């Protein structure tokens, strides 16, 4: 079942009714059996495979995303996450035995996972399929009922998800709410058991404030300015290819794309021809004519990005076309630390290069700013890699490879500080959408607790001090 814009515009009544339906489904225990969870995951996987061409078309309509790129960065990644979860879910859900202190023996203790209840997944526009379906899969695997809110800025993808999800998943436990700010606001007024939001920090703060009204836990997958450092001894040909690929996939509209590049002035001059060669290798001499290079999502974002490079002299690129929302792969060398390009996440195919004196200067530059979602280092020296790992903080680190950590389901994905809170992928998604319940069991016979009940005699004092607190002191 789907709530449309028209229904939602009547107020929060439809949202409240939908939430009530899902709470009743959860209360009946529908979502808790392992068999139900597995069926939903397999159905979601089947949807991705069977309706792949339609999903590719929607992504092309929203972002001019090449079908191969759509498979690689959206559909295949989601399928891989589902397959990994199906392989390991039974083991992840088993109770975990833990040791009990001698003072409580005989007793047993364990941790069991239980679903949270009804959760809200708010998706972004830049990867409108993958970044909705991966959290959705995790929420279902953990045994929750789910409301999905796709981004209205990717209308073709949103409409298709609203059409397909009820066909493949249990409509009593999964609902899609389409719409814009009004519909999202109506959702955020309600009490959920968890909210999972992917998007920018400005809206993330709104989500966090709304969730706080109900003491609802949140996962905020945000972004920020993810730096890439290129050391003087780096393999510049390989570094250029990998940086260009990670920066320009989805026309730069990727939360873990390298946002800016730090290197010495000498290495920047040597690197620029390699960056230019990589752009030509991937997208030809006229990227605007390449079927492999995407477009900016809407006019507002296009205008923002165009303004950032207006009246500049780029080292590479710089061309724009408002009619098709095209911005060329662009590199601007020698950008100052206080330049407008350095004050906000770029989220487009523009790469500023900031000159630093060396490793220490680069580390200082990074640590003086908000903790990024990801940090990338190209260096031939292990000592340099260790310094970045030890002296900086970020959601993830890629050593000689940017952005690819998303493809490893056993690695947690998430930010730190302003780049986000919480983590997911693989088992971490189950952790996010579950409550770890502590269970202690102790037989009533023999009642060993009698040894510490009042009145506190000298014998009991010695038992407490030597067995429980182990201070070893006798009462005087």
Residues classed as catalytic: 221, 255
Per the rule left: phi > 0, alpha: psi between -120 and 50, beta: everything else, 275 is: alpha
**Residue 268: both structure tokens together:** 């920047």
- CA-CA distance, 184 to 146, in Å (whole number)? 15
**Residue 22: both structure tokens together:** 């899902």
Pairing of strands 174-177, 2-3: parallel
- CA-CA distance, 12 to 17, in Å (whole number)? 9
The three-state secondary structure class of 23 is helix
- The answer to whether 286 touches 242, Cβ cutoff 8 Å, is no
- The answer to whether 433 touches 37, Cβ cutoff 8 Å, is no
- CA-CA distance, 129 to 174, in Å (whole number)? 16
223: burial class by Cβ within 10 Å (0-12, 13-18, 19+)?
buried
- The answer to whether 221 touches 255, Cβ cutoff 8 Å, is yes
- 311 φ, ψ to 5°? 60, 25
Strand order across the 397-399 sheet = 330-333, 350-355, 260-263, 227-230, 375-378, 397-399
CA distances from 38 to 90, 335, 362 (A): 10, 51, 47
Burial 189-212 (b: 16+ CB within 10 A, else e): ebebbbbbbbbbbebbebbbebbe
The three-state secondary structure class of 9 is helix
**Residue 165: both structure tokens together:** 């999800």
464: burial class by Cβ within 10 Å (0-12, 13-18, 19+)?
middle
């Amino acid at each position: 079942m789907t709530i449309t814009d028209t229904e939602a515009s009547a107020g929060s009544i439809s949202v409240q009714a939908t939430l009530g339906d899902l709470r009743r489904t959860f209360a009946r225990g529908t979502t808790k059996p392992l068999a139900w969870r597995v069926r939903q995951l397999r159905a979601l996987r089947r949807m991705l495979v069977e309706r792949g061409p339609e999903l590719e078309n929607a992504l092309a309509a929203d972002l001019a995303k090449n079908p191969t790129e759509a498979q690689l960065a959206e559909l295949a990644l989601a399928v891989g996450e589902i397959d990994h979860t199906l392989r390991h879910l039974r083991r992840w859900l088993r109770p975990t035995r833990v040791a009990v202190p001698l003072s409580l023996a005989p007793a047993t203790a364990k941790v069991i996972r239980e679903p949270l209840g009804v959760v809200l997944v708010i998706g972004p526009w830049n990867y409108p399929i993958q970044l909705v379906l991966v959290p959705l899969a995790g929420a279902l695997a953990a045994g929750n009922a789910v409301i999905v809110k796709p981004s209205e800025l990717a209308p073709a993808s949103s409409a298709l998800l609203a059409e397909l999800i009820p066909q493949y998943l249990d409509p009593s436990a999964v609902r899609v709410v389409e719409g814009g700010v009004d519909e999202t606001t109506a959702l955020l007024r309600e009490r959920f058991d968890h909210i999972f939001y992917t998007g920018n920090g400005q809206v993330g703060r709104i989500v966090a404030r709304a969730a706080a009204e109900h003491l609802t836990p949140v996962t905020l997958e945000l972004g920020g300015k993810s730096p890439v450092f290129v050391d003087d001894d780096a393999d510049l040909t390989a570094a250029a290819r990998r940086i260009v690929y990670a920066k320009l996939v989805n026309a730069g509209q990727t939360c873990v794309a390298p946002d800016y590049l730090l290197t010495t002035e000498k290495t920047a001059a040597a690197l620029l021809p390699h960056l230019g060669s990589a752009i030509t290798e991937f997208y030809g001499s006229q990227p605007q004519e390449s079927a492999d290079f995407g477009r900016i999502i809407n006019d507002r974002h296009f205008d923002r990005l165009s303004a950032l490079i207006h009246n500049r002299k780029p080292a590479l690129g710089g061309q724009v076309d408002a009619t098709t929302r095209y911005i060329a792969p662009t590199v601007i060398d020698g950008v100052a630390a206080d330049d407008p390009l350095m004050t906000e996440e770029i989220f487009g195919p523009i790469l500023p290069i900031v000159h630093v004196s060396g490793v220490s200067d680069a580390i200082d530059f990074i640590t003086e700013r908000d903790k990024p979602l990801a940090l990338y280092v190209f260096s031939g020296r292990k000592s340099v890699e260790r310094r970045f790992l030890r002296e900086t903080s970020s959601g993830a680190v890629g050593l000689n490879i940017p952005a690819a950590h998303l493809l490893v389901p056993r690695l947690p994905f998430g930010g730190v500080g302003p780049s986000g809170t919480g983590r997911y992928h693989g088992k971490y998604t189950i952790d996010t959408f579950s409550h770890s319940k502590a269970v202690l069991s102790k037989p009533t016979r023999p009642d060993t607790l009698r040894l510490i009940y009042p009145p506190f005699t000298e014998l009991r004092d010695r038992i407490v001090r030597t067995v429980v607190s182990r201070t070893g002191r006798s009462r005087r």
